[in-house]
Structure 1
Amino acid sequence: MPLLLAIPPTEVFLGILAILFLLLCSALVSGSEVAFFSLTPNDFEKLQQDNSGSSQRILYLKDKPRKLLATILISNNFINIGIVILSEFVLSNLISPDIFDYWAESISVGIPWLSLSKEGLAITFNFLITVVSVTFLLVLFGEVAPKVYARINNLRLARIMSTPLDILMRILNPFSAILVNWTKVLEGRLLLTAAGAGLASREDIDEAIELTVSNGEDSGQEVDLLKSIVKFGEVSVKQIMRSRIDVIAVDHRISYPELLEVVKESGYSRIPVYNEDFDNVIGLLYVKDLLGYLHHDESFAWQKLIRTNMLFVPEAKKIDDLLREFQKEHLHMAIVVDEYGGSAGIVTLEDIMEEIIGEIQDEFDDDPEVIYHQIDDNNFVFDGKTLLNDVCRIVGIDTSTFDEVKGEADSVAGLLLELTGDMPTEGEEIVQKEFIFRVLKVSERRIESIQFTLPETTASTV
């Protein structure tokens, strides 16, 4: 039986060396993908403190994640193509073609009903051996092993590959730019499709809730509760927070008797403490911490009880994320900051819970959280600063009713300013869809009270 080596050993040896070199390159490039994209914030903090060239290159590459990933993928494809071509060349010359003819003839004799010709069988054997061997090499040594190593030694491999990838990114820039641009186009189309699908899904869920819940005595409350849970992840902190003008807070310089008076009048268990103004909140005072010092004189330094373990959150943060953060940090209150870094208000764990189950009243709450006056079945009077979500819940309409026109507004006064574009006058009526807003009282700076009128058909179903 004719066997191996139809070419001189030197050519086989050089071909094998080239394959091994390309396998090493494939391993490094594949591993660098895991290495760069598994770096943690702590790793980046260390790199920022380190002024070495490799650290700066890693930070530069990580700032361009799309281009970096495109460069890695393109490089890996070129390398793998080279491995396949060289492997086919080496194997086809390392193993004599006569051996494939011998195997094909043996198969034809042993399986006479096989429809393939001897030449077809020989080509099939050659192809299968090439594919199996190359696939095994690429998967094991070019993908699996290097990625396992990179997961454990990500920072070390990232430093090693920072220079080669920087060079490759510059060389392959035309190709990676095309790939990145096409990716952005596809991503935009997919996001639009997903958004449309999400909207339909949301409507389907609401309809399913209404159809599924029984028509019992408390079915309306059950429907509202389930819908609130569905919408929970879409609500931002700004929509439920208490604005700074309604926050009870104290300056850290006030005396102990003055502090006790504020605590007595407010009835709150946690009070923010600030330095000079509310934009500079320095901590929280837990009223329970004062219990052991109630009989101290006015010189008592109550400031030592201030707790500085606080949470600052942006207005745009979703309340489901905030709830998880409250659970993780074991906190019940956070200071809400606006885009300029100033304090916009506070948000509490109770505010989040009320977004699902409605208003929570305890034995110490003499007044309702939302102050309003109901004139009749379809007329209500609200303070201008009342949140739109609260208005909708009280009058019995969907909280998303004004989403298309409210812009950045979260209060009913903000909605009217968004609709008119100017400060309305007393007695002015603004009509939105079938709803009527009548301005009852306006000061120089804000809309103080508003009458909200439901359409007759809506009012009859509330």
Structure 2
Amino acid sequence: MAGLVLASGFFSSSETALFYLSRDDLRAFRVGPRRQRLVASLLANPDRLLTAVLFWNLLINLTYFAITIVLSRQIAADNTRFATAIPLLSLLGIILFGEVVPKSIAVVFRRRLATWLAWPLTIAVRTFDPIAPVFLVTTEFLHRVFWPHVTVEPALEADDLEQAVDNSARTTEVVIQERQVLHNILDLGEISVEEVMRPRGTWVTLPLPIHLQDLDAEAVETGFVVVGGDQDIVKSIIPLDHRASLPDTHLERLAEEVIPVPWCARLAPVLQRMRDTFSSAACVVNEYGDTVGILTHDDILDTILSPEPSRARRLLRREPIESIGGGRYEVQALTTLRYLSRRLKLDYEPDPEHQVTVNGLLQEQLERVPVPGDECLWQGHRIRVIEASGRGPTKVLVARDTDPLDDLSPNHSGGESD
């Protein structure tokens, strides 16, 4: 019976330890030692794992109580009082040492226990696999017999959720910040990956092998390093959000694979795919299969939690739009049109078929690489290039289209920046 209690405690602690692991834990386990990778593979199919654990735990508990009943009947012939106490003591023992204590320990030492229990748990799951289809068929049969008319409820439309959030403004149920976050979450279904991604040239790529001393300030600020020496090929990255735990050599062993996504994809399905695959980043490709950017999990979180999400502010680490008075603004060229319209309080929704940044808008309208002094009109505003590099504009001036911008100083009239 003691062995059955230990076996019950094993499966109880295994269930708690593995399912209590955070997403960051699982990301680290995917590129860790063999035992940790085994834990990640088990959790890749959580339904299979949970069904197997519950099956073995139930089987062990039934066997335990069956032995308890037999033992009580044998002792009852000689000592009735002791025989009556055996079931109560057995129940207390299985609850305390088979459930409560193992689960409590597993919560505290989940990472270590998950690694230790990976091999025996894998054997138990694979042993259960041949009989798993029987339980699946039985479950479907019982569902059809007892709940034949139960159907899946239709999902709420995004417009319905948006209306519910707007209606909450008339009450004190949701504060302003929370309401803004809810709006940002709903916007994930409308914002394209291209608006949030980090464009090429904004990250650090290092050839193999990669050591800690190779990381410079730019790599640390970016938050990740691309493995390999080619900017056009992004297969894996090394996250730097836990720099204190990085080894001194061979950081490529910590590399995580990125998932490819098209540039026109919406953030909502991309986020869901990243969560399903436990990926921390996605490689954004265009219609020719070329890498045009990288999207990280942190970029999406910034889009959700920031009151005014801005890729330009995230990359430049400063406000990309500065008011200079008189209804004029100096704007970084990589600023998205969505963010610019919010700052200018315009009713504007980006067209997925057109460019999403100020730089792209200028190139699309001029059909060439803009130079200082070039202008275009957009949403009742005049956009003039005031700084540019060899690859295009870096800063523009935005004003109402009724403002001729004739009084600009020499600093705003032209010239190329380095």
Larger radius of gyration: 1
Q: Provide the TM-score with structure 1 as the length reference.
A: 0.44
Q: Provide the TM-score with structure 2 as the length reference.
A: 0.48
